Chains A and B, each alone.
Chain A
Amino acid sequence: MSDDTSLPSGKKRLGQILWIAVLLAGAAGVVYAYLRWTWVEVQPLCVATAVPERPRSAGGVWYWIEPTPRECLLVRFDGKRTALARSPRIAAYWPSSKALAWIAADGKGWQVHRASPDGSGATTLFRSDHPLDGIWTDGMTTAWLEKLPPPKTTARFLPPIGPRTVVWMHDGRTSRKVAVLQEGFAQGQVVGAVRDTLYVAGSREDGIGVTVVYAIAHNSPPQRLLSEYGTISVALHGEELVWTAPSRESNTLLTACLRTMDLRNGVIRTAAEWLPAGGVLYRRGADWILCTGLTETAWQVDEVQKGGHPLSVPDDQWPIAADEHGLLAVQRQKTPGRVMVSRILYR
């Protein structure tokens, strides 16, 4: 009888069992890693009256605008859904951990309001007959844009006789005009502030769409930092300005890239290419997420590989925003006046 056919000794059997255990553990590890990588959980949050517009998260709390047929609601969700403001039109808002600011129109004019993050203690900072847009606040300072109409002439595409945008700032006591930009923005945005410089972005009103970004420093004329063809998304993270731009590698409008500018030295680099055009940039951890773009999914930008990949999203969910924890999504099947808002969690 050879050794091969003999019954294994106890030591050999133990070795085999250990081998099998190691193999099983390895296989389980691979399966676990894969599942962990692709695991998606959908947490229903609340029922909204309309698809949330411009959702934004601050201090772990979600805010959004719900445009219903009768009025617009500014909604806060911190575990329960609360309507903080109601108005025929809410043009813009900005939540921070210290304050909430928004722009509302009541048919007679436009007002800038500021309140605590929970909506209490609301005060009106500014009124205007001209449309207001693009508000930002850090709790102390509030800034917004006022659109001045062009004179009545058809040649308004020439800058000095075109529409203008006034940049206003409220320092807690008074409102003051800090800059007048010779451009009319269909969509204006105060992106944020770094040290004493305010960053303003806007898409030009007519003709071929152009988005521009200005840096407005104290007591100096506005500096035009960049201009890009098309309507793009602009965000500020630390001392880095980030924006989507028409692709540098493709000549189709359906493809975009992600560009960044180091605000300390003005160096611009292309962080990622071959992204879908359109959409809004959100920060999630160390990543940028591009939401509600052409592909109706969310794309995670991979700066290492200079590309991006679509996040796995359940078929019935439509991601509309992102924060540190995951995506904010709405159910695709909508009943009028009833929209299920959910959170999609990964890993």
Chain B
Amino acid sequence: MKRGLQRSVSPRAAATVILLVLAAVQAWWWRAFIWRPQLPSGVSATPMTPMPPGPQIEQGRKDVEVETIAGAVEPGLADGIGRDARFDSPAGIAMDGAGNLYVADSRNHRIRLVRPDNHTFTLAGAGEGYLDGPASTARFRFPCGVAVAEDGSVYVADTGNHCVRVIRNGQVSTLAGGRQGYAAGSGSQAAFDTPLSVALTPGSPGTLLVADWGNSRIRRVSLDGQVDAGTPTPGRPVSVVGGSRWAVTVPDGGLVFGAWGTLKGIRTAVEGMAVAHPGVALPISIQGETGWLMADADQGAVLLVHGTVAEVLAGGFQNPGNMLAWRDFSGEQARFGRIGGLALDGRGRIYVSDTDSNSIRRVTVPELVQGKE
């Protein structure tokens, strides 16, 4: 039997067949499994986008903490916790007394809500357009400004629709405006041109201030929809804040401080620092004196202006054409894109709407939170 087997299978033939099978297996193995997604040798490995080489005038502080609480650099539309949420060019932000952050998510045409537990929801909006009604079906067009009243009403600068909208009890309605132009009056009789920012003056019932960018005016809107002719500004305003005195920022002309009816000094720079383009400003109390939190409109930096001294808290001045931003950690190492909104919570922490990086960042400055923990 054994002898018969030896005779029927030639050792040479068996060895050759085995070799052929091995060669075939090796060829298949080589093609299917050996390949790895590595760069071939001798090829260039220059990054797709060069790192920003822009002059670093000054960088933020080491003791300042920067963290991303919602969104990521990748644009998109998604609710979720922390970095699972997605925004697309978030602009103005406002915070209520409970620590909820309202975000004008401009390219998503929605108003978003970031709760204190960093959970992001869509408060209102169903896409681009103009439609009043239930918050889930209402439509906005590139909303850029948002303000929240003590009663929970949220006022929106619906920039692309040239009007001011209000979200109250789950319903969206138009408070004033609705056509591009310039007109004082009541409700839809009034006209705005690209309103970029809204702010509420303190007190009850309060008054809305609107940065009417196209008309270069700050308009005052009563909460029943009466719009005045406004106060001219020496440039196009992009941001307005209300307080004991209101402030408006005109990036091309510097920061304009003003009380209602009169405009006071214009600052184009603070002690030689490049704050020539203040995009957003927020009044802040530092040791009993009023200071200003400020974000440059053209470069990624958060500053604290106190008297005539400006200090970079976080980020650093970058060339806006070369921004490769979104880095957390300390104020010195953090990087921001261009900033569209600032807000403060009751504990003295700063919230930054990083428009370029499609995220909401939180900046903690030791002396601002001291005694408020």
Contact = CB atoms under 8 A, between A and B. Distances in A.
B13 A19 contact: yes
A153 B74 contact: no
Contacts of B326: 208
A47 interface: no
A297 B40 CA distance: 9
B74 A161 contact: no
A310 B24 contact: no
Contacts, number: 144
B331 interface: no
Interface stretch (A60-68, A109-117, A273-281): A273-281
A154 B253 CA distance: 10
Contacts of B277: 154-155
Given A153-B236, A229-B75, A231-B48, A158 B91 contact: yes
B39 interface: yes
A153 B237 CA distance: 10
Interface in A261-317: 274-278, 294-297, 305, 307-310
Interface in A185-228: 206-210, 212, 221, 224, 227-228
Contact of A158 (B10, B37, B340): B340
Contact of B39 (A3, A230, A231, A276): A276
Nearest to B324: A208
A221 B17 CA distance: 67
A154 B297 contact: yes
Interface stretch (A23-31, A85-93, A134-142, A335-343): A23-31
A157 interface: yes
Contacts of B95: none
A246 interface: yes
Interface in B29-84: 31-32, 35, 37, 39-40, 43-49, 73-76
A27 B43 CA distance: 35
B88 interface: yes
A152 interface: yes
Given A158-B355, A160-B159, A207-B320, A254 B213 contact: no
A207 B251 contact: no
Given A159-B107, A212-B75, 13 more contacts: A3-B7, A19-B10, A23-B17, A30-B20, A153-B236, A153-B251, A154-B298, A155-B196, A155-B297, A157-B338, A208-B337, A227-B76, A253-B47
